Structure formats: structure tokens, C-alpha cells
Amino acid sequence: MRGRAKARTDTTSSSFDPGNLSISYRGAFQRPDCIGNPNVANPATGSMFNLAAFNPVPSGPVGNCGVGILLGPGTTTIAAGLAKNFHVTERMRLRFEGTFTNLLNHPNFAPPPTNVISSSFGVAQSVQTAENSGNRTGQLSLRLDF
């Protein structure tokens, strides 16, 4: 199953506050100005976004880049399970079960940093956690019913 790319919002450093709005103190983020398409046609782990599409220092009090315009890496995963019941006696059953997530062990990258000032902007640096389809995980179980 292939998941959709996740929408991300680009930000810039809170030190660039030309409107003197103290945005960082209110829990908000300063956004840059968009001067081009931020998404690249063939994203790679080293360049998920187009850095040339941003002006880090906005020309007005706040930047004109929209919320959720960056498309981060998607998620590709297959989960599977298999179970078999064995009758030991008339009243006893044995159940063997196995379940796996990310069966093909496909690397699903975590969203890259979105601060356009950062040197790691758009660079995928890690994979997702196991809850979000990280590395392959499996579980085997044996159950006796009597």
C-alpha cells in the first residue's frame, strides 16, 4: 500500500521578524516569501524541496507562503498476519499466529526539517518510528484453549 505524501509547512528563523510581531513568543512560526514552486519533480533523500523557491526574509510583516505547501515523503507499507488452529484433543485447541508490519522492510523516511534557514532544510535524515511504519516488526504467538 502506498500512502500519500504528507503536507508540511515551511518556516524561517524567528530572528527574521521585520514586522516586529514577536511571533515566536505567541507559539507561531514566521513563514518566508514564496517565489517559485517549492516541490521538486523527483525528490531524493538529499533534496526533498526546492530551496531556490523561498526568500527567507519576508518583504512584509509576515511571509506569503501558504500552510501545508511542501510535500514530504509518503509511506509505503504492507502488513500481514497468518493464523492456524490445531485440535490437540476434543476439548483442547492450539493456535499459532504470526503478524508483521512493513513486511517488505521498505524505508519510510520521516519528514525533513522545514526551516528554510537551516542547512538541513529538505534533507531526509531519519526513518519513521515503528508506529508509523518504520522498520519491519513481527510477532509470533502460541495460544492453548482448553
For the chain, which residues make up each domain, given as ranges? 7-145
Residue 123: predicted pLDDT: 85
Beta carbons of 11 and 114 less than 8 angstroms apart: yes
State the CB neighbour count (10 A cutoff) for residue 84. Answer: 9
Query: What was the pLDDT predicted at 133?
Result: 72
Full DSSP string of 40-90: EEEEETTEEE-GGGEESS-SSSS--PPTT-EE----B---EEEEEEEE-SS
Cα dihedral 117, 120, 124, 128 in deg (nearest 10): -80
pLDDT digits (tens, 9 = 90+) for 67-103: 888 888 878 888 899 999 999 999 999 999 999 988 8
pLDDT tens for 30-66 read 777 888 888 888 887 788 888 888 877 666 667 778 7
State pTM to two decimals: 0.59
Q: Cell numbers at residue 55, please?
A: 526568500
